[in-house]
Amino acid sequence: MSHHCPNCQRLVYNRRLKNCGYCAAPIPIEIQFTEREKDALDQKMAELQEQRKEREREAERKAAEKRHPQPYHHHLAPYANGLRWFS
């Protein structure tokens, strides 16, 4: 289906709008997103936003670890009953 404005023939760049972003002519309802499609897009955008925030938090955590690495306790070794001290 062609998503062009019937008035100016330009590509409709936002199907959420009721009017063409170039000439302000009404966009036919067949071209516009339905409420269900809008809701699905909003949900997908929220999911992507949360994923982006999670990646940013992970990157910040890794950067903080590089700035302040955890000390390695070479005198501790895993043992069947917990940690065993070596002297």
Give me the residue spans of the domains in the chain.
Answer: 1-32, 34-67
By CB atoms closer than 10 A (0-12, 13-18, 19+), residue 27 is: buried
The pLDDT value given to residue 59: 95
Residue 4 in contact with residue 23, Cβ under 8 Å? no
How many Å apart are CA 9 and CA 7, to the nearest integer?
A: 6
Ranges of the chain with pLDDT below 50: none
User: What pTM does this model have?
Assistant: 0.60
The pLDDT value given to residue 33: 96
The pLDDT value given to residue 58: 96
Q: 85: which strand partners?
A: 76
